Structure 1
Amino acid sequence: MKSKRVKIVIALGSNVDQEAHIQKAKKWLEATFEDMTFGTSLWTEPIGLSSDKFLNTLGVGYTNVNMERTLLAIKNIERKCGRRVAESRKGIIAVDIDLLLFDSERLHETDWNRGYVKNLLQQLGVSID
């Protein structure tokens, strides 16, 4: 039985060595998921912590595995890109990768209302309704 190919939307952000971490994360995401494309990268002010600005982007791609395995792959990519729990607790985010959409299920609902997310979703041709 062939697995169903589902659309995913992923948000990426980094507030330390931002460009290098985002590039590294994109490469791992492209190697892990099918047909990944990314929007432009945007600088944003941190939300809920005191830190340097974040560099953010969104990616759209496809997966043939369930949501749990998709989330595990994303967390593994975060670790490969240098994310550490102790540093994250101090507001040092090498890379944060959030799954915003899995098939038709929207996750991280508050992120969908952020200006840069709306902008990048539109740029990538992803419906925000």
Structure 2
Amino acid sequence: MARIYISLGTNIDPVEHMQSGLVDLHEHFGDLTLSRMFESEAVGFQGTNFLNMVAAADTDMSIADVVATFKGIEKQNGRIRGEKKFSPRSLDIDLLLYDDEVCHQPIELPRGEILYNAFVLWPLAEIAPMLTHPITQQSYQYLWEHYDKSSQHIWPIEFEFPVLVSR
């Protein structure tokens, strides 16, 4: 059984897509550990603010199967493949960590944006503060404490989580 950490983000009908994505993740992975919901400014382009959070779950699926499941959930929520990297998203679900696996195929793990995007690092540090990054060997709490918080604007918000997903 692997412990996975999942980043979710959306800025198109964000409440609807985030709630739907969480319900879908719960259906595929069962119990989820959830960070608070965060709002952040778009990074890399001018656009409406994003909702972001991190979830954790346990799975027997392979990395490739987890990623395929995420792509299916994104597609159900209106995600169109081939979009520009920095553009609005109906739902973006990324695998951040799969236990302490370090690999480049089928995807890069740990996901690089953990170290440079506040909207990933802060919620990850919230639900796994003492877990260590498999490359830097520093805890996520330490990484967040030493992150340049002036580089990106992010703040926690109230959010109505789906009933099926306990917090």
Q: Deviation at 1:58?
A: 0.4
Distance across 1 between alignment mates of 2:24 and 2:69: 10
Q: Which of 60, 70, 73 is matched with 2:66 structurally? A: 70
In the aligned structure 2, how far is the partner of 1:116 from the partner of 1:82? 22
Question: Which 10-residue stretch deviates more, 98-107 or 11-20?
Answer: 98-107
- The counterpart of 1:43, out of the listed 28, 39, 47, is 39
2:145 matched to which residue of 1? Answer: none
How far apart, CA to CA, are the structure 2 residues paired with 1:111 and 1:122? 10
Amino acid in structure 2 at the alignment position of 1:107 = P
Q: Distance in 2 between matches of 1:83 and 1:62?
A: 25
TM-score (norm: length of structure 1) = 0.86
**TM, length-normalised to structure 2:** 0.68
Counterpart of 2:42 in 1: which secondary structure?
coil
- Tell me by how many angstroms 1:120 deviates: 1.2
1:34 deviates by 3.2
Asked whether the equivalents of residues 8 and 93 of structure 2 are also in contact (C-alpha less than 8 Å), the reply is yes
- Report the structure, 1 or 2, having the larger helix content: 1
- Alignment correspondent of 2:16: 20
For residue 91 of structure 1, report the CA deviation from its aligned partner.
2.1
Q: Identity over aligned residues, as a percent?
A: 27
Q: SS in structure 2 opposite 1:84?
A: coil
Alpha-carbon distance, 1:110 to partner: 2.5
Q: What does residue 98 of structure 1 align with? A: 94
The amino acid of 1:54's aligned partner reads F
- Which of these residues, 6, 29, 32, is aligned with residue 33 of structure 1? 29
- Number of paired residues? 124
Structure 2 residues not aligned, in runs of 5+:
102-108, 133-137, 139-167
**SS of residue matched to 2:54:** strand
Q: 1:67 offset after TM fit, Å?
A: 0.4
Q: Which amino acid aligns with 2:122?
A: N
> Residues of 2 paired with 1:110 and 1:24: CA distance?
24
Q: Which has the larger radius of gyration?
A: 2
**Residues 123/13 of structure 1: CA separation in 2 closer, same or farther (3 Å cut):** same
* Separation of aligned partners in 1, 2:27 and 2:16: 17
Unaligned runs of 5+ in 1: none
What is the CA-CA distance between 1:111 and the residue it aligns to?
2.8
For 1:108, which of 95, 101, 111 is the aligned residue?
Answer: 111
Higher strand share: 1
